[in-house]
Structure 1
Amino acid sequence: LLTSDVSQMNDRLGEDESLLVRLYSFLLNDSPLNPLLASFFSKVLSILISRKPEQIVEFLKKKRDFVDLIIKHIGTSAIMDLLLRLLTCIEPPQPRQDVLNWLNEEQIIQRLVEIVHPSQEEDRHSNASQSLCEIVRLSRDQMLQIQNSTEPDPLLATLEKQEIIEQLLSNIFHKEKNESAIVSAIQILLTLLETRRPTFEGHIEICPPGMSHSACSVNKSVLEAIRGRLGSFHELLLEPPKKSVMKTTWGVLDPPVGNTRLNVIRLISSLLQTNTSSINEDLMELNSIGVILDMFFKYTWNNFLHTQVEICIALILASPFENTENSTITDQDSTGDNLLLKHLFQKCQLIERILDAWEMNEKKQAEGGRRHGYMGHLTRIANCIVHSTEKGPNSALVQQLLKDLPDAVRERWEAFCTSSLGETNKRNTVDL
């Protein structure tokens, strides 16, 4: 009845403090809360917040333990929803700003970040991470709607501080590797690195998002904090949290790719999108691109992985020399060449690996075996290289890198482009 949003009932409940105290007392129960009751509680309070924002917020502010209790019960999804409703249900700009300032004074961001720690439970990791991601998105959406807002969003400003991100990263790179905490933290970083709403996953634009006009640029302090821990992320690619051997219908995975490594590669792809010189340099030094390329070919059937690696390669191929948006300049040597692109062709031997994998697959199929699971992605990567030689910011360099290949490799590549790749493309364009 209380959740039916009847104005007379809302008035009665919102104006009688003794009833509000009684409703509020639900939060005083021990964790974990009953999920069904918690969802009713959250719904009733959300309705009251949207109908009577000033009275309810005033009431909650008087309750000194409100934020403590929200943090205590954040593992219950309905309580996380309540926190987010507090940010979305208040329409007038000034009361909304007051709520943001109040939550910021209560250090809600710092306390949510503290929860993303190996010592905490998985539900708490997940909900704290989701809360922070939603806070970022809500803040950015709000900034887009109110272009002339004089006051910045204090919660977003706090979360984007370098020391807060460093704290988050030091939590997850604590002694033990906890997959849930690592993945939750990476989700927060990915949201902070989002310069706009992503299109469907796996969609590759030849002109990368870094070149288009995004709504919000990535905060430098976020990039700096991540950069300081790139070595630790790279280490996760080599030594992920322990996973038991996985038996599948086609063989044994030891170890499986795992959610941690997949998310680290997502993070690398987001970092490449920012096209930041110092980060590109570090990725080259660590040879992270080489490692993820090894994984691409090792895990033949993991298309989630293949998609991310494909995105990384497409971003490197299409990254412009200069990203005016973030006022960063892509790595160039004295001749103005894109060093990361050179690294991809020379150190990672992308062309050789494509040719070898293609030949191995054809040989296997000729013997009656199954087509490798990454072949569709490999076709798209090869097409992306061909496209990059014809147009795009790096066409001259890609042409030069192809010319610099050993003669035998170059001839194989040229033959491959006209025969195997051409035939595959023709076959792929035929209507089913």
Structure 2
Amino acid sequence: MFWRMAGLSTASPVETILDKENFTLEELLDEDEIIQECKALNGRLISFLRERVQIEQLVRYIVEKAPEDAEKTRTFKFPFIACEIFTCEVDIILKALVEDEELMDMLFSFLEPERSHSTLLAGYFSKVVICLLLRKTVPLMTYIQAHRDIIKKLVDLIGITSIMEVLIRLIGADEHLYSNYTDVMQWLEETDVLEMIVDKFSSSDSPEVHANAAEALCAITRYAPPGMMSKISSPSFVGRLFHHALEDSRPQSVLINSLSICISLLDPKRLTSGAYYTYNRQMILGSRITVNAETLDGMLKSLGDLLKLLDISTEDHVLLTTYGELHPPLGKHRLKIIEFISVLVTVSSEAAEKELIRLGAVKRIVELFFEYPYNNFLHHHVEQIVVSCLESKNSLFVEHILKDCNLVSKFLEAEKNFALATVSDKPTVPAEGKLPPRIGNIGHITRIANKLVQLANDDNDIKLHLQENSEWVDWHTNVLQKRNAVENVFQWACGRPTALQDRTRDSDDEDYQDRDYDVTELANNLSQAFRYGIYSHDEIDEPHGSLERDDEDTYFDDESAEVVISSLRLGNDQERLVQQFMLAFSDNYFYSLPFFRSRFHQMNLKG
């Protein structure tokens, strides 16, 4: 227990219970200090808890659901305390559990299909198993290797997030295990666990199952050992994945999560938490990635069937929005396809670029950019696709985006007609009885246009294409350059912080000294402060009712005075105003300070 000092310590409630002749496990579990005593390695308590009878009862609290008429302590507190006792990582208790096969059978009986798998108990089970996996790796893996049906049971319950976490730790998301326990982990590569996980896309209709299966496979693509990685990136596995994704009878969650796995195979460093997980990191436009050629070929075989899903002509679904109607809405599945294409174009593969040109994938995606002018997720991916195409070393790809996709003309047309079109054959229609709102992709058009100008400095093909378009030249001169000037935050005097990617200063002092101050207003404010006695001084009569301040509040040292003067960026007029300001108070408070007095002498204001 904490705070044990000679002469000051008091008896712990746990010790009081242990002093009884006949006490029960439940009495200890009901005592709030039991976890603290376990962590403090209370010898009497550990000796009691390590007994097989007690460990068996602790395991039962974790894996068996409480009766409906049970008290709250049995339903909630005892399972929690039992889990915490195991995760205190007391070696003698963990050893007593993991070395007793009957107790391990009882622990993993939680995975049996006929059991009630409540989220609460699943969390406790997961914490205990992960603790054993980290602290008793060899005996636990030896037990699981002798009971390989545990892997299948874990996969069957992958829809429970806690169970998914156990599976991820087990099959490759913990680099520590594979580097230090190669022998006991090697057998996992010989199992068909990856196939069992991917087949959940076919055997289950639950979105939670699909999402967790994708999360597990994405984790494997990032951390798995070479043997497991070669299996998941093989053309046969990728083909199996696309087969499930493109089945007509399957829910859209299968397609969305299957593509998440493909994206992770192309770019393993990509984050995978949340529906739009790519926005959790700063996008680096134009960055190139490399990928296994066989993996890429397996994806390209199904690319044509995937792009057919971008067709919106056959859907009748209508979604009402604040700006009008979407019929149909773009949908998460199409957005995920476009995200997949945005990663695919960053792959350094001539074969992928050739296939994208042949299928017209980029052209169709650019059309969607203008058909859905308020979907910023879509605009983000389209910008990444366009920039990746423009930065490609393949001149055919650059020519395709400029000429075949007619990119510049589409931008100029959108700039001229910046209000939402009322054409009924478009998927985005403004609300009746209201003025059509301004389209929402002008900002992305501006960013892409600036990128075009930047790339034209080094690419003669892009430069020539822009110069031949007289309308572009006029728009660039009269609209784009002026817009860039207005949006240049360094020219603003309102104190708005700059974007991280635009910040060039390394010192806070430079940014601080680069601000403008109204010196007249500063002098007036200080004048009011002295008039009402905020800064008290012996030579100033303090009016009745003025604020009472402590000496610490009114102290103004040389360092503070230096900040006042040196932080001002002064012109000629401002210098004159400061002189007047200093003269106004030179006979009073400020002149009594050594720093200001020295400045007065420097400026020849005082003899």
For the aligned pair, the TM-score class normalised by the smaller chain equals 0.7 to 0.9
d(CA) in 1 for partners of 2:156 and 2:284?
43
Partner amino acid, structure 1, of 2:211: S
* Residue 345 (str. 1) matches residue 402 (str. 2): yes
Q: Kindly state the Cα deviation for residue 29 of structure 1 after the two structures are TM-superposed.
A: 3.5
Counterpart in the other structure of 2:441: 374
Cα deviation code 1:242-295 (max 9, x no counterpart): 683211111111110111111111111111000311221121122111111111
* Structure (1/2) with the larger helix percentage: 1
> 1:312 is matched with which residue: 372, 381, 385?
385
d(CA) in 1 for partners of 2:452 and 2:181?
49
> 2:375 is matched with which residue: 302, 327, 330?
302
Cα distance 1:58–1:387, how it changes in 2: closer, same or farther (>3 A)? Answer: same
**Map 1:125-274 → 2, pairs under 5 A:** 125-139=210-224, 153-176=226-249, 178-194=251-267, 196-197=269-270, 205=284, 208-210=286-288, 217-239=290-312, 244-274=317-347
Cα distance 1:363–1:25, how it changes in 2: closer, same or farther (>3 A)? Answer: closer
Give the TM-score of the pair, scaled to structure 1: 0.83
**Map 1:9-158 → 2, pairs under 5 A:** 9-30=93-114, 33-86=117-170, 87-88=172-173, 91=176, 93=178, 96-98=181-183, 100-117=185-202, 120-139=205-224, 153-158=226-231
* Superposed CA RMSD: 2.5
Q: Kindly state the Cα deviation for residue 102 of structure 1 after the two structures are TM-superposed.
A: 2.2
Cα distance 1:241–1:84, how it changes in 2: closer, same or farther (>3 A)? Answer: farther
Unaligned runs of at least 5 residues, structure 1: 140-151, 322-329, 331-337
Cα distance 1:77–1:289, how it changes in 2: closer, same or farther (>3 A)? Answer: same
Q: CA contact under 8 A between 1:284 and 1:343: conserved in structure 2?
A: yes
Cα deviation code 1:202-232 (max 9, x no counterpart): 85546x221xxx6xx3111110011101101
Partner amino acid, structure 2, of 1:29: P
Give the TM-score of the pair, scaled to structure 2: 0.60
Q: CA contact under 8 A between 2:245 and 2:255: conserved in structure 1?
A: yes
Counterpart in the other structure of 1:429: 488
Q: CA contact under 8 A between 1:100 and 1:154: conserved in structure 2?
A: no
Q: Which has the higher contact order (CA 8 A, sep 6+)?
A: 1
> 2:472 is matched with which residue: 396, 413, 416?
413
Greater Rg over alpha carbons, structure: 2
d(CA) in 2 for partners of 1:64 and 1:118?
21
Cα deviation code 1:132-166 (max 9, x no counterpart): 00111123xxxxxxxxxxxx521111001011101
Q: CA contact under 8 A between 2:323 and 2:437: conserved in structure 1?
A: no
Q: Kindly state the Cα deviation for residue 176 of structure 1 after the two structures are TM-superposed.
A: 2.7
d(CA) in 1 for partners of 2:314 and 2:139?
48
Partner amino acid, structure 1, of 2:379: H
Q: Kindly state the Cα deviation for residue 103 of structure 1 after the two structures are TM-superposed.
A: 2.3
> 1:3 is matched with which residue: 54, 74, 83?
83
What is the identity percentage for the equivalent residue pairs of Structure 1 and Structure 2? 28
d(CA) in 2 for partners of 1:189 and 1:174?
16
Q: Kindly state the Cα deviation for residue 67 of structure 1 after the two structures are TM-superposed.
A: 1.2
Partner amino acid, structure 1, of 2:362: I
Partner amino acid, structure 1, of 2:99: E
Cα deviation code 1:328-379 (max 9, x no counterpart): xx4xxxxxxx111111111111010000000111799xx9864321011110
Cα deviation code 1:163-215 (max 9, x no counterpart): 11011111111233531000010000000010645785685546x221xxx6x
Q: CA contact under 8 A between 1:49 and 1:90: conserved in structure 2?
A: no
Q: CA contact under 8 A between 2:342 and 2:381: conserved in structure 1?
A: yes
d(CA) in 2 for partners of 1:49 and 1:83?
11
Partner amino acid, structure 2, of 1:373: G
Cα distance 1:253–1:28, how it changes in 2: closer, same or farther (>3 A)? Answer: same
Higher mean displacement: 351-360 or 61-70: 61-70
> 1:359 is matched with which residue: 368, 393, 416?
416
Q: Kindly state the Cα deviation for residue 117 of structure 1 after the two structures are TM-superposed.
A: 2.7
Q: CA contact under 8 A between 2:408 and 2:472: conserved in structure 1?
A: yes
| SS at structure 2 position matched to 1:116 | helix
d(CA) in 2 for partners of 1:279 and 1:109?
26
